[in-house]
Amino acid sequence: MANTILVGAQWGDEGKGKIIDVLTEDADIVVRYAGGNNAGHTVFIGKQKYVLHLVPSGILRPNKLCVIGNGVVADPLSLVEEIQGLRKLGVKVGANLVVSETAHVVFPYHRELDAQREVLKGRQKIGTTKRGIGPAYGDKAARVGLRISDLVEPARLEEKLSARIKENNAVLKSLGAKPLSFKKVLAEYRAAGKYLKPFVANTVVLLHDAMRRRADILFEGAQGTFLDLDHGTYPFVTSSNTTAGGACTGTGVPPHRMDRVVGVMKAYTTRVGEGPLPTENPEIADMLHAMGREFGATTGRARRCGWFDSVATRHAAMVNGIDDLAITNLDGLDTLETIKVCVAYRRGKTRYDFVPSDAQVLAGCEPVYVEFEGWRTPTNDCKTFKQLPSETRAYLKAIAELTNAKLFIASVGPARAQTIFV
């Protein structure tokens, strides 16, 4: 399969978990390279639903090595809980999971600050997952973060944490929030550090050793292109580089060793949290929510929904260098008479064929639509591209062409078998 980076081409929740699970069959190693437990990647195996937050989705297949890379911020309490939850469901988690010693640690003061900053912002809030992601990456950039290598050394943890709690408690108090108990946090994090120690290694060396043995690596993106700290709708973004470049910095695998980029996108658009979403449409949202779909895998929030936005996905193809497209949730459009696709934006007299980088400008953009005929028939049982209705094939071809990448997978349901290779 060669080294493949898989990224979300929209605003997250594109179905990356499902596609990772499918592609893992041909990979040796799956690596998460960015984000934290703000991610929620859903995989169905038979009737069993798994939601992965920090552990790579490849864990559900036997004999695959899963790596949490240096670019990730890991909440150790949440990671321990996730490992225990997977084991309870019969998933083997042991030597098949390795955590980078240089990944940064999320502490309770990060979560508390995340929540407090949202309150302070009031109507301008980002709508974060409140998992402490922004403050944890902030500490990393400010060079005051603790890494996994600090977490697993009790004496070092105590010394560094003591200083961090002092500073952060002063900030929390000034915001009117309750200070944290150093003793309690230390005890909890020591226990988590002890539990996680056997999983910890130098993952940069591990990945390079594996590449020398010609292992095929799948890089599991989290979030989506428009949540990228640099390329997304700032400030309504997450705090990491979710785009393809993040796979290099977040793992230590250099750019020239990457062979292919797969972009995952829904056949329509969703977003959870605040910020511009040009094609947002309440009728589609109502239709999808009535089907029980489009509720967040991490926070349970109802996702905002809209028509497919090819201006956005074309931009994503450009920024990530997407070679192949996996289009998911095609079946979500099965009942529609007509389907709209956004092909440009208009703001006053200006027409945009790309995504303006200023979120305020984007928020003022109106979509320019073209219409497609719906297929008005269930697609869930289609096994091949040929079995899909002709209108569905026309729609898929059109959105792939507008995105400027090759159609590779069409997904017509959450199950492994509901995957059509084109």
Interface with ligand IMO (CB under 6 A): 8, 12-13, 38-41, 126-129, 131, 133-134, 222-224, 227, 238-239, 272-273, 297
The answer to whether residues 335 and 268 touch, using CB atoms and an 8 Å cutoff, is no
Query: Binding residues for ligand GDP, how many (CB under 6 A)?
Result: 20
d(CA 189, CA 184): 9
Instruction: Give the one entry of Mg ion, ligand GDP, ligand IMO, none that residue 412 binds, where binding means its C-beta sits below a cut-off of 5 to 8 angstroms depending on kind.
Output: ligand GDP
Peptide bond into 278 cis (omega under 30): no
Conformational region of residue 135, where left means phi above 0, alpha means psi within -120 to 50, and beta covers everything else: alpha
Catalytic, 41? Answer yes
- CB 248, min distance to ligand IMO, A: 19
Q: Counting contacts by CB under 5 A, is residue 414 touching Mg ion?
A: no
Q: Counting contacts by CB under 6 A, is residue 8 touching ligand GDP?
A: yes
The answer to whether residues 67 and 31 touch, using CB atoms and an 8 Å cutoff, is yes
Of 65, 64, 42, the closest CA to residue 53 belongs to: 42
- CB 273, min distance to Mg ion, A: 12
d(CA 274, CA 124): 8
Which structure tokens are listed for 405?
A: 């990448």
Of 337, 421, 422, 411, the closest CA to residue 379 belongs to: 411
Please tell me which residue in 26, 28, 41, 259 is annotated as part of the active site: 41
Q: Which is nearer to ligand IMO, 11 or 308 (CB)?
A: 11
Q: Which is nearer to ligand IMO, 14 or 334 (CB)?
A: 14
Q: Counting contacts by CB under 5 A, is residue 40 touching Mg ion?
A: yes
Distance of CA 246 to the CA centre of its chain: 12
Within 10 angstroms of residue 85's Cβ, the number of other Cβ atoms is 15
Q: Counting contacts by CB under 6 A, is residue 297 touching ligand GDP?
A: yes
Q: Counting contacts by CB under 6 A, is residue 42 touching ligand GDP?
A: yes
- CB 259, min distance to ligand IMO, A: 23
Q: Which of 3, 4, 7, 13 binds ligand GDP (CB under 6 A)?
A: 13
d(CA 224, CA 220): 11
Catalytic, 75? Answer no
Residues that bind ligand GDP (CB under 6 A): 8, 12-18, 40-42, 44, 297, 328-329, 331, 411-414
Residues labelled as active-site residues: 13, 41
